[in-house]
Structure 1
């Protein structure tokens, strides 16, 4: 039986000091046919571990309807990691942030009235227990001490930035151990004293998340975790993008220098991200720290492996840094091939937007929220007849909303009128005289942070 433990100064693999060199790949952001390719390229860069979140809302979009096949077969993903001779770190949340829709929490959960998410509220913990047991049914037999690949399991996610409910974290530890998880447990927080304090819990090893000033931030972590290995569980080597913003990049030389500083200090690391992938469908989240910023479809993240799965300049720079501290395979992945060119014919689709023809409809005396109609679709169309005497002699009148979440297209008698954006703080626009008003509302992403 292989053992993996936390020693006085190091992680211990079969009793010997071991450094974790990990990279994040979210199985739910990569097509399953490409999982093996992405994992193998991580190994060729010199990594020995793959880390992934588990996205609760992807697996249980409707309460009681659990899905874990195809693109959600996390067990198969972990088996590929094992096949490639690598270890795995699993972060099941239940909150994951991850720039993912609703931070990974199902909408059926967050719309329950009087329930306090991410707390010891029994009404919240009841479904959390069911969720974690399902996850651990997959993870438990794949632990390293059972001839599997999983070496660490994380409790919650950057909880110190959100709350300080010690009973909540303790309950997550209890549930995790009760479900048969025997490998070491960790927490992660930004290296701010109050976050490390509030996000820690007995029985879990503290790690940090940062992307620069490695020595300084490791020193802060050490003050709060005086023994055991130092680890940056999220080394931010890039960043995410939101609609209307710029594509964020980090300088390769600066990221490589910070990685070198981190490894020179003897710390373990998880690169966030190694390969970002894509927010398929309507799975992107949004940040809201005073202004709502929905995230784009791409999750390229300026990572060492780009969105299409090809090595970047950062890949080769990180590989060279890693080679100073650990063996790196001689094999290199192939360079990016030339992209094929394709030509397609476009034709007008008409103003009625046939792609939003309803799969279900309902009548109400006021506009209902997505939650009130149990909408899993990201688009809902609202229609009403305008009163015959609404305009009288006026050619146009203001249409005013308290708030639109998150983007609305307005038309009158199938004629496009304009758009209202939550991000831009828009609440109103003028509509012309007509008989039928239609407002098509798009959920651009539930807030994952802020």
Structure 2
């Protein structure tokens, strides 16, 4: 029975001094077929532990309906890590941040309009308790005290960056203990006074998160915990990307130097991230500081292992530090697994299409409402939503005001595109309504809920109202479009003579695969949208970048015929995509 304990300001594992050298790999950002590959590469770099968050919204996608299969098979991931000789640290929510949609909180929580998140709110805690009653019994057999690989479990996540309700933290900690979690429990926070005061609880190990200046960070930590091990629970060795911003990179030598200084000071370190993976589907998060900024589909994070699992210069620099520290030759490190091939399948022509607005009755069940309601009030979590109403005319020179659109609205008058209103640029749109009136359609994209900070409670769709000048518009027909499946789309052959309309449309094409390999979709000439491969939602693309390709892991492909479906929100210069063997993250 392995047991991680604290003694004399250091860790001991089964009574022997132990230094945690860990890397974060999120099972939910990697197809299960590649879990072993990524874990073996973690070992090949010299690490002894893997860390992962657990996103509540993946495991309870609808209230009281649980999922622990496929990408959500956290038990399978933890067992595999143990079989490969790795220890495991789990950070089991309810909140994870992680640049993940809503910080891992399920969107259906927002159906309760008065709910208070991440505090001693009775409604919120009742949902957390029910989730923990389902989740924690799945983890307890995997604890090191029961012969499993889990050596430590986190309480909440960076709570001091959000609040100071230490009664809430204590409630969560005691709830873990009550459900049988008897391994080391810990909190993690930034190395600042307010964060360490609000996010830690007596009797529970504290850790700190940072990307540089380790001496200063640990010095601040020591002001609060003088007799505990030094732990950087999140060593930010890279960073994530937002749409409309440049791709982040960090010098490998700088990363290695900071890491070397930490481990030579006796600190335990968890790389956030070791392997970032991908925000598949609609699970990317967003940030809101000065304005709303959505996270891109790739979660490459400029980490030691790239999005598609390739070794990087940073990987080699980190492995060298670990080898030097241990006094071993790099040739004696664990072996690198067999390489995964990459393939170029060439240009794929889309042969069929389906206009979104025309097909609304076939792909959505309309709802009548006096006011435009956000998704959550309609029981919808992700995807798109369309608001339709009739506007009287004539009206000349009036301005359409969409109040608090979350996050991006395309406006159509009698089916003709008028312009786009964006949350980060919410300017009124001039509209001329003809005599007799016109039909107004507003297509809104949920680009990902805020995952960090005070704007966490992030409703989606039109959240306040729609006005012509100062006159509110009432009597709406609303079409929810969660797009959790694409099988019912009524496609037709693409007309060679069709004109550009700037209307959202689905496109479908097929391609043949003789030999499966990882590949990357280039959408040059396309504008903005979402891609599905064989029914699997790969995520979003946007011509404004920085990301220029979408990663397609080989296990998503079939030998023989494969189907690709694209929702293009504006237009494609030419409905052709390319499957290349080279990623491009900008």
Shorter chain as normaliser: what TM range?
over 0.9
1:295 — aligned with what? 295
**Alpha-carbon displacement from aligned partner over 1:301-339 (angstroms, at most 9, x marks no partner):** 001111111111111111111112236615235678665
What count of residue pairs does the alignment treat as equivalent? Answer: 446
Matched, 1:371 2:376: yes
C-alpha distance in 1, partners of 2:428/2:299? 30
Q: Which residue of 2 aligns with 1:304?
A: 304
Q: What are the within-5 Å matches in structure 2 for residues 302-381 of structure 1?
A: 302-326=302-326, 329-333=333-337, 339-346=343-350, 349=353, 352=356, 358-381=363-386
Q: What are the residue-to-residue correspondences of 1:63-82 with 2, within 5 Å?
A: 63-82=63-82
Structure 2 contact 410–442 (Cα < 8 Å) conserved: yes
Report the CA distance shift for 1:330/1:39 in structure 2 as closer, same or farther (over 3 A): closer
Structure 2 equivalent of residue 101 of structure 1 = 101
Supply the distance in 1 between the matched residues of 2:337 and 2:302 (Cα, whole angstroms).
18
Tell me what 1:115 maps to. Answer: 115
Native 8 Å contact 2:40 2:336 kept in 1: no
1:406 is aligned to 407
Which segments of 5 or more consecutive residues in structure 2 lack a partner in the other structure? Answer: 454-586
Deviation at 1:115, TM superposition (A): 2.1
Q: Which residue of 1 aligns with 2:2?
A: 2
Higher helix share: 1
What is the CA-CA distance between 1:2 and the residue it aligns to?
2.2
Provide structure 1 residue ranges, at least 5 long, that are not aligned to the other structure: none
In 2, the alpha carbon distance for the partners of 1:352 and 1:118 equals 38
Structure 2 distance, partners of 1:318, 1:339, is: 29
Q: Distance in 2 between matches of 1:427 and 1:82?
A: 56
Residue 116 of structure 1, CA deviation: 1.6
Q: Distance in 2 between matches of 1:305 and 1:355?
A: 42
* Change over 3 Å in CA distance of 1:330–1:73 after alignment to 2: closer
The verdict on how the C-alpha distance between 1:355 and 1:151 changes in structure 2, with shifts beyond 3 A counting, is farther
Contact 1:351 1:415 in 2 (8 A): no
| 1:201 paired to 2:201 | yes
For residue 425 of structure 1, report the CA deviation from its aligned partner: 3.4
Contact 2:391 2:433 in 1 (8 A): no
Trace 1:50-449 onto structure 2 (pairs within 5 A): 50-326=50-326, 329-333=333-337, 339-346=343-350, 349=353, 352=356, 358-387=363-392, 389-391=393-395, 394=396, 397-430=398-431, 433=434, 435-449=438-452
- Distance in 2, Cα, partners of 1:286 & 1:330: 37
Counterpart CA distance in 1 for 2:364 and 2:272 is 38
Q: Report the CA distance shift for 1:264/1:336 in structure 2 as closer, same or farther (over 3 A).
A: farther
The structural deviation recorded for 1:411 is: 1.4
In the TM superposition, what is the alpha-carbon distance from 1:95 to its structure 2 partner?
A: 0.8
Task: Quote how far apart the aligned CAs of 1:368 are.
Answer: 1.2
Identify the residue that residue 568 of structure 2 maps to in structure 1: none
Deviation string, structure 1 residues 163-222 (Cα, Å, up to 9, x no partner): 111211111111010111111101000000121121101231010000001122112112
**Cα gap change, 1:15/1:88 in structure 2, threshold over 3 Å: closer, same or farther?**
same
For the Cα contact (< 8 Å) 1:92–1:132, is it kept in 2? Answer: no
Q: Secondary structure at the match of 2:133?
A: helix
Match of 2:11 in 1: 11
The alpha-carbon deviation at position 347 of structure 1 amounts to 5.3
Cα drift, residue 111 of structure 1: 3.8
Partners of 2:37 and 2:337 within 8 A in 1: no
Which deviations, in whole Å up to 9, do the C-alpha atoms of 1:145-180 show, x marking residues without a partner? 211000000001111111111211111111010111
Give the match's secondary structure for 2:273.
strand
Higher strand share goes to which structure? 2
Kept in 2, the 8 Å contact 1:399–1:431? The answer is no
SS in 1 for 2:223: helix
